[in-house]
Amino acid sequence: MMTSNGRMAWLARGLNAWGGLTRTLNTLQPAAALLARLYIAQVFFLSGLTKLRDWDTTVALFTDEYHVPLLPPAAAALLGTAGELVLPVLLVLGLAGRFPALGLFVVNAVAVVSLSEIAPAALQQHVFWGTLLAGLAIYGGGPWSLDRWLAPTLQRVRRTS
Protein backbone atom coordinates (compact mmCIF):
# COMPACT_ATOMS: atom_id res chain seq x y z
CA MET A 1 0.00 0.00 0.00
CA MET A 2 1.34 3.41 -0.98
CA THR A 3 1.70 6.09 1.67
CA SER A 4 0.41 9.62 1.31
CA ASN A 5 4.00 10.86 0.78
CA GLY A 6 4.54 8.21 -1.89
CA ARG A 7 1.39 9.29 -3.75
CA MET A 8 2.42 12.94 -3.55
CA ALA A 9 5.89 12.13 -4.88
CA TRP A 10 4.37 10.13 -7.74
CA LEU A 11 1.97 12.99 -8.50
CA ALA A 12 4.80 15.54 -8.44
CA ARG A 13 6.87 13.42 -10.87
CA GLY A 14 3.85 13.10 -13.15
CA LEU A 15 3.22 16.85 -13.12
CA ASN A 16 6.89 17.57 -13.81
CA ALA A 17 6.87 15.16 -16.74
CA TRP A 18 3.68 16.75 -18.06
CA GLY A 19 5.24 20.21 -17.74
CA GLY A 20 8.30 19.06 -19.70
CA LEU A 21 6.12 17.58 -22.44
CA THR A 22 4.06 20.78 -22.59
CA ARG A 23 7.20 22.94 -22.93
CA THR A 24 8.49 20.66 -25.71
CA LEU A 25 5.20 20.81 -27.58
CA ASN A 26 5.09 24.60 -27.18
CA THR A 27 8.51 24.89 -28.83
CA LEU A 28 7.17 22.87 -31.77
CA GLN A 29 4.18 25.19 -32.39
CA PRO A 30 5.97 27.59 -34.80
CA ALA A 31 7.22 24.70 -36.95
CA ALA A 32 3.79 23.03 -36.89
CA ALA A 33 2.07 26.24 -38.02
CA LEU A 34 4.61 26.70 -40.82
CA LEU A 35 4.25 23.09 -41.96
CA ALA A 36 0.45 23.41 -41.97
CA ARG A 37 0.71 26.62 -44.02
CA LEU A 38 3.12 25.02 -46.50
CA TYR A 39 1.06 21.85 -46.88
CA ILE A 40 -2.31 23.51 -47.39
CA ALA A 41 -0.83 26.17 -49.68
CA GLN A 42 0.69 23.48 -51.91
CA VAL A 43 -2.64 21.64 -52.19
CA PHE A 44 -4.56 24.71 -53.33
CA PHE A 45 -1.79 26.28 -55.44
CA LEU A 46 -1.28 23.09 -57.46
CA SER A 47 -5.04 22.86 -57.97
CA GLY A 48 -5.05 26.44 -59.25
CA LEU A 49 -2.17 25.71 -61.64
CA THR A 50 -4.06 22.70 -63.01
CA LYS A 51 -7.10 24.87 -63.68
CA LEU A 52 -4.96 27.54 -65.32
CA ARG A 53 -3.17 25.10 -67.65
CA ASP A 54 -6.38 24.11 -69.44
CA TRP A 55 -8.80 26.98 -69.06
CA ASP A 56 -11.38 25.60 -71.51
CA THR A 57 -11.65 22.39 -69.50
CA THR A 58 -11.84 24.38 -66.26
CA VAL A 59 -14.77 26.45 -67.52
CA ALA A 60 -16.44 23.28 -68.83
CA LEU A 61 -16.05 21.65 -65.38
CA PHE A 62 -17.58 24.68 -63.70
CA THR A 63 -20.41 24.58 -66.25
CA ASP A 64 -21.16 20.85 -66.12
CA GLU A 65 -19.86 19.40 -62.85
CA TYR A 66 -19.20 22.11 -60.26
CA HIS A 67 -22.46 23.83 -59.50
CA VAL A 68 -21.32 26.90 -57.59
CA PRO A 69 -24.32 28.69 -56.11
CA LEU A 70 -25.04 32.31 -57.10
CA LEU A 71 -22.26 32.64 -59.69
CA PRO A 72 -22.15 32.03 -63.44
CA PRO A 73 -19.72 29.21 -64.29
CA ALA A 74 -17.10 31.45 -65.95
CA ALA A 75 -17.06 33.83 -62.96
CA ALA A 76 -16.88 30.93 -60.51
CA ALA A 77 -13.97 29.44 -62.46
CA LEU A 78 -12.12 32.76 -62.50
CA LEU A 79 -12.68 33.52 -58.81
CA GLY A 80 -11.90 29.98 -57.68
CA THR A 81 -8.71 29.80 -59.71
CA ALA A 82 -7.57 33.25 -58.59
CA GLY A 83 -8.20 32.30 -54.98
CA GLU A 84 -6.25 29.07 -55.38
CA LEU A 85 -3.28 30.94 -56.84
CA VAL A 86 -3.12 34.14 -54.75
CA LEU A 87 -4.26 33.06 -51.29
CA PRO A 88 -1.69 30.22 -50.90
CA VAL A 89 1.16 32.66 -51.57
CA LEU A 90 -0.10 34.94 -48.78
CA LEU A 91 -0.55 31.91 -46.52
CA VAL A 92 3.01 30.66 -47.07
CA LEU A 93 4.42 34.10 -46.34
CA GLY A 94 2.20 34.48 -43.30
CA LEU A 95 1.07 37.82 -44.64
CA ALA A 96 -2.42 38.74 -43.44
CA GLY A 97 -2.44 35.07 -42.43
CA ARG A 98 -5.99 34.84 -41.21
CA PHE A 99 -7.39 36.35 -44.43
CA PRO A 100 -5.95 33.70 -46.79
CA ALA A 101 -6.83 30.94 -44.32
CA LEU A 102 -10.45 32.11 -44.24
CA GLY A 103 -10.50 32.62 -48.01
CA LEU A 104 -9.21 29.11 -48.69
CA PHE A 105 -11.66 27.76 -46.11
CA VAL A 106 -14.46 29.28 -48.21
CA VAL A 107 -12.95 27.92 -51.47
CA ASN A 108 -12.75 24.48 -49.83
CA ALA A 109 -16.34 24.65 -48.54
CA VAL A 110 -17.67 25.81 -51.92
CA ALA A 111 -15.81 22.94 -53.60
CA VAL A 112 -17.58 20.43 -51.35
CA VAL A 113 -21.00 22.05 -51.71
CA SER A 114 -20.74 22.51 -55.48
CA LEU A 115 -19.97 18.90 -56.33
CA SER A 116 -23.07 16.84 -56.93
CA GLU A 117 -21.23 13.68 -55.85
CA ILE A 118 -18.04 13.42 -53.83
CA ALA A 119 -16.24 10.23 -52.93
CA PRO A 120 -15.86 9.56 -49.19
CA ALA A 121 -12.04 9.69 -49.43
CA ALA A 122 -12.19 13.05 -51.23
CA LEU A 123 -14.66 14.38 -48.65
CA GLN A 124 -12.29 13.27 -45.88
CA GLN A 125 -9.46 15.23 -47.54
CA HIS A 126 -11.63 18.34 -47.71
CA VAL A 127 -12.57 17.94 -44.04
CA PHE A 128 -8.86 17.66 -43.13
CA TRP A 129 -8.00 20.74 -45.20
CA GLY A 130 -10.89 22.66 -43.68
CA THR A 131 -9.75 21.72 -40.18
CA LEU A 132 -6.19 22.92 -40.87
CA LEU A 133 -7.51 26.15 -42.38
CA ALA A 134 -9.86 26.72 -39.45
CA GLY A 135 -6.94 26.29 -37.05
CA LEU A 136 -4.81 28.75 -39.02
CA ALA A 137 -7.67 31.24 -39.14
CA ILE A 138 -8.28 30.96 -35.40
CA TYR A 139 -4.66 30.91 -34.18
CA GLY A 140 -2.97 32.85 -36.96
CA GLY A 141 0.10 31.94 -38.94
CA GLY A 142 2.37 31.57 -35.93
CA PRO A 143 5.63 33.24 -34.95
CA TRP A 144 7.37 32.30 -38.19
CA SER A 145 5.26 34.59 -40.35
CA LEU A 146 5.59 38.03 -41.91
CA ASP A 147 2.66 39.15 -39.78
CA ARG A 148 4.71 38.61 -36.60
CA TRP A 149 7.81 40.16 -38.14
CA LEU A 150 5.91 43.24 -39.33
CA ALA A 151 3.81 43.65 -36.15
CA PRO A 152 6.26 45.96 -34.31
CA THR A 153 6.56 48.20 -37.37
CA LEU A 154 2.79 48.38 -37.78
CA GLN A 155 2.37 49.26 -34.10
CA ARG A 156 4.88 52.14 -34.46
CA VAL A 157 3.04 53.41 -37.54
CA ARG A 158 -0.31 53.31 -35.70
CA ARG A 159 1.10 55.22 -32.73
CA THR A 160 2.52 57.98 -34.95
CA SER A 161 -0.61 58.45 -37.07
* 161 band by pLDDT with thresholds 50, 70 and 90: confident
Lowest mean pLDDT among 13-27, 60-74, 144-158: 144-158
Is the separation of the CB atoms in 81 and 56 below 8 Å?
Answer: no
Degrees, nearest 5: CA angle 77-81-84: 145
- Domain coordinates in residue numbering, the chain: 37-160
Distance CA 6, CA 36 (A): 43
Mean pLDDT of 109-120: 90
Mean pLDDT of 3-17: 88
Mean pLDDT of the chain: 93
Is the separation of the CB atoms in 114 and 64 below 8 Å?
Answer: no
pLDDT of residue 1: 66
Mean pLDDT of 20-33: 95
Beta-bridged to residue 115, according to DSSP, are: 66
The predicted-structure confidence for 60-109, as pLDDT tens digits, reads as follows 999 999 989 899 999 999 999 999 999 999 999 999 989 999 999 999 99
Sign of CA dihedral 12, 18, 20, 23: negative
